[in-house]
Amino acid sequence: MPTPQELRNLKIVTKAFGIPDSHKLATYQKRGGFEAFRKALTLQPAAITDEVKKSNLRGRGGAGFPTGMKWSFIPKDAKLVYLVVNADESEPGTCKDRELLAKDPHLLIEGMMIASYALGCKHAYIYIRGEMMREAKVVQGAIDEAYAAGWLGKNHPAAGGGGTFNLDITLHRGAGAYICGEETGLLNSLEGKRGWPRLKPPFPAIKGLFNAPTVVNNVETIMNIPEILTRGGEWFAGLGVGKSGGTRIVCVSGHVAKPGVFELPMGITFRDLIYDVCGGIPGGRALKGVIPGGSSMPPLDASEIDVPCEFDALMTDPRIKDVEVKPGVPFDLGGGRKLKTMAGSGGIVVFDDTTDVVALCARIMEFYAHESCGQCTPCREGSGWLARVCKRLARGQGEPGDVELLANIANGIGGNTICALGDAAAWPMLGFLTKFRADFEARIQPKKIGLPGRAGATTEAA
Amino acid sequence: MPLEFSAQSKQRVERLLTRYPTKQAALLPVLHVAQEEFGHLPDEVIELVSRTLDLPAAHIYGVVTFYTMFHREKHGRNELMVCTNISCMLRGAYPILEHIEKRLGIKPGETTPDGVFTLVEEECLAACANAPMMICGDDYFLDLTPEKVDVALDELRRRSQQQQPQPVGTKTIFGMGPNGAKT
Ligand SMILES: Cc1cc2nc3c(=O)[nH]c(=O)nc-3n(C[C@H](O)[C@H](O)[C@H](O)COP(=O)(O)O)c2cc1C
Ligand code: SF4
Ligand code: FES
């Protein structure tokens, strides 16, 4: 077992950071690139999935779903299987995949080769966000190099004589739509349609890209695979905490002295992250709160930062308050389950005590209203309504009843939509109200006598 | 004469078609090629893509209008995408955006009269640890201050004066019925 200090310094997916020309194949091979893939070919595909299961690797795209389990949902007798890497990174506060793509694209390619071998995939796609033009060039360059060297394409030289393994990888550029990060919206987009999320079930593992069984994984998730093969699932699981194996990449932004993208132990607390790794809050100001995993996650207040930024801790640690619909009434996630928050995409946004949290929350609501694809009424209408009411509160023109109104709208969206974008608007709204209710109430104008209350019936433009 | 792709674009389209099991799946990449060649996506270009991929123009129109990076109108040679989402907002993105508006004399969504800049207020561009920030093509401008913005704008203007102006594309005729019939 590594010591805590060794663990702090251990890098799995950010090993290439700081190495000159780290995106080139020659550099990657000098660092031992493709050794893990060679090892993979000596194993049965099912044994690789087992190793990934043992590693406790969890999806880094947002939901933290166990990767090995996701792979095992692919029907055993499937003739055609697709692997799709989600490189659409656009959850506000998240900036890790972009760096990973730019600095170590061959690690992604090797991870995809191993995953494809395990899944029986012959053609894998990388769906990269349209705005990432520079990264698209780097990744395409890496793919071209890998083809030229014979790692990709037919008649694989390393395939151990039999030539049983061959893989094509195609880079597919999106064109500006946050919703294409949602895996089924992504699949529709990849098929040349609007990026409208699909009703589930069927899940992609059964009916995904071009109706074939499909695994969708995040960039960071796949980049962990080669090291899991090299050092074993048990080793990887041992680095982590509880059911979350490996290290964690966090992107820290906002009011810290040294913002950045860091690979750190799973168990690191937000306090250590802010005050130790990131040099504290500039100007000696005090912390007001932290968004722990991208803008769709309920915030933590300053009293809740001793919790580690690990998946399960953020969902269950008793030191984090339950998100409420109104004081004393917890929000029901379904079946009586309560919501605290989630580790999400690793986008950690720190805000100090000078922050106008109502304006911050309004900006988040504006984002989800803008990005709602419009298929379901609660999300389409509700997200715009949340944004409008939040914005008028931020302007100091809130009306009596607005805080309750916001909670009611959010409560009506949560759990009632095709995809999780609805929740992504509702959860932070309820979270901000739970943690910073007084800030919202302070923006309400006392009602003028004689005017009927028109809570929410405003027609002002968003 | 109906519009055609240049020989080079044609070759790119051919290659793209080999990467997907259906022609439709090549739609986004082909639209990127088309927009690169023609500057924007007016009806004539949509019809060209429709012929190329055997897809109804109405489907393509629906796709074009869904994605923010595809545009029906002509844009400036430099598309300035300024992020104002939370991490950038917390570090002064709105004053930066205002500074750019003043320097260029345009609001988000508008193009300077000389066609050099189109200003776009963007959502998070995945460089939050270097907020506030903007991108232009494949150039990133990070940790912005008003002074850095001035340097960036001067540099971009200088570069675009050296470059040949982009082809103007064809006139936009707005509105399209089912299967591409003009309404
Ligand atoms: C609205 C929405 C946006 C999402 N955006 C992304 C994204 O940009 N990148 C990503 O990897 N996952 C995103 N996800 C999660 C994906 O749907 C999917 O769970 C993930 O790509 C699976 O990969 P993983 O298991 O490796 O995490 C998003 C989900 C939702 C609901
Ligand atoms: S929840 Fe929102 S984004 Fe998701 S499918 Fe429904 S309308 Fe579209
Ligand atoms: S919030 Fe501006 S780049 Fe992410």
- pLDDT by residue for chain B (183 residues), tens digit each? 789 999 999 999 999 999 999 999 999 999 999 999 999 999 999 999 999 999 999 999 999 999 999 999 999 999 999 999 999 999 999 999 999 999 999 999 999 999 999 999 999 999 999 999 999 988 999 999 999 999 999 999 998 887 654 443 322 222 222 223 332
Which of B63, B131, B137 has the CB atom closest to A253's CB atom? B131
User: Same structural domain for residues A272 and A297?
Assistant: yes
Most B CBs within 10 Å, among A101, A255, A363, to test the B interface? A363
The string of pLDDT tens digits covering residues A4-56 is: 888 999 999 999 999 999 999 999 999 999 999 999 999 999 999 999 999 99
Provide the 8-state DSSP code for A418: S
Ligand 2 mean position to A2 CA, how many Å? 44
Name the residue type at position A80: L
| pLDDT for the residue B163 | 62
Q: Quick one: how far is CA B61 from the chain centroid?
A: 16
The string of pLDDT tens digits covering residues A323-366 is: 999 999 999 998 889 999 999 999 999 999 999 999 999 999 99
**Is ipTM beyond 0.90?**
yes
| pLDDT for the residue A459 | 43
User: Same structural domain for residues B165 and B112?
Assistant: yes
User: Same structural domain for residues B156 and B99?
Assistant: yes
Lookup result for tokens 């964690």: A248
User: Same structural domain for residues A413 and A275?
Assistant: yes
Q: Is residue B31 part of a domain?
A: yes
User: Same structural domain for residues A214 and A271?
Assistant: no
Q: Is residue A458 part of a domain?
A: no
Distances (CA, A) of A387 to A57, A81, A345, A366, A381: 36, 41, 23, 5, 10
User: Same structural domain for residues A92 and A231?
Assistant: yes
For A140, the domain range is 4-239
| Structural contact between residues B164 and B175, judged by C-beta atoms closer than 8 angstroms | no
The tally of domains found in chain A comes to 2
| pLDDT for the residue B176 | 29
Q: Quick one: how far is CA A437 from the chain centroid?
A: 27
Most A CBs within 10 Å, among B128, B136, B139, B140, to test the A interface? B128
Give the ligand at the shortest distance from the Cα of B123: 3
> Per the structure block, which two tokens stand in for A176?
């500006």
Q: Is residue A156 part of a domain?
A: yes
| pLDDT for the residue B162 | 77
Ligand 1 mean position to A347 CA, how many Å? 13
Task: Please tell me if residue B62 touches chain A, with a CB cutoff of 8 Å.
Answer: yes
User: Same structural domain for residues B113 and B61?
Assistant: no
| pLDDT for the residue A154 | 80
For B175, the domain range is 78-180
Return the CATH number at A359: 3.10.20.600
Return the CATH number at B110: 3.40.30.10
Q: Is residue A296 part of a domain?
A: yes
User: Same structural domain for residues A173 and A268?
Assistant: no
| pLDDT for the residue A448 | 63
User: Same structural domain for residues B56 and B121?
Assistant: no
> What is the reported pTM?
0.93
Distances (CA, A) of A180 to A88, A310, A364, A436, B25: 7, 26, 18, 31, 14
User: Same structural domain for residues A235 and A252?
Assistant: no
What does the angle CA B140 – CA B145 – CA B147 come to, to the nearest 5 degrees? 100
Within 8 A of A260 by CB-CB distance, chain B residues are 129
| pLDDT for the residue A462 | 39
User: Same structural domain for residues A232 and A290?
Assistant: no
A118 CB less than 6 Å from ligand 2? no
User: Same structural domain for residues A21 and A167?
Assistant: yes
User: Same structural domain for residues B24 and B61?
Assistant: yes
Within 8 A of B139 by CB-CB distance, chain A residues are 134
Which of B32, B69, B140 has the CB atom closest to A134's CB atom? B140
User: Same structural domain for residues B176 and B125?
Assistant: yes
- In this structure, are strands A324-326 and A329-330 parallel, antiparallel, or unpaired? antiparallel
Q: Is residue A452 part of a domain?
A: no
DSSP helix/strand/coil, B83: strand
User: Same structural domain for residues A217 and A289?
Assistant: no
Task: Please tell me if residue B90 touches chain A, with a CB cutoff of 8 Å.
Answer: yes
Q: Please provide residue A349's backbone torsions phi and psi, each rounded to the nearest 5 degrees.
A: -115, 120
Q: Is residue B72 part of a domain?
A: no
B81 sits in which H/E element: strand B78-83
| pLDDT for the residue B177 | 27
Contact A355 B90 (CB under 8 A): yes
Within 8 A of A258 by CB-CB distance, chain B residues are none
Q: Is residue A457 part of a domain?
A: no
| pLDDT for the residue A157 | 57
User: Same structural domain for residues A428 and A404?
Assistant: yes
Residue ending a domain, choose from B18, B39, B66 = B66
Query: Which of B87, B122, B141 has the most ligand 3 atoms within 8 A of CB, as the residue to mutate?
Result: B87
| pLDDT for the residue B173 | 28
As averages over each run of 10 residues, the pLDDT of chain A (462 residues) reads 86 95 96 94 95 97 96 95 98 96 97 97 97 96 96 69 78 96 98 97 97 98 98 96 95 97 95 96 96 97 96 95 96 92 96 97 97 96 97 94 96 93 96 97 79 49 40
User: Same structural domain for residues A136 and A27?
Assistant: yes
Query: Which of A89, A253, A291, A351 has the most ligand 3 atoms within 8 A of CB, as the residue to mutate?
Result: A253
Q: Is residue A454 part of a domain?
A: no
The string of pLDDT tens digits covering residues A425-445 is: 999 999 999 999 999 999 998
Q: Is residue B173 part of a domain?
A: yes
What whole-number percentage of chain A has pLDDT above 90?
A: 90
The tally of domains found in chain B comes to 2
Within 8 A of A179 by CB-CB distance, chain B residues are none
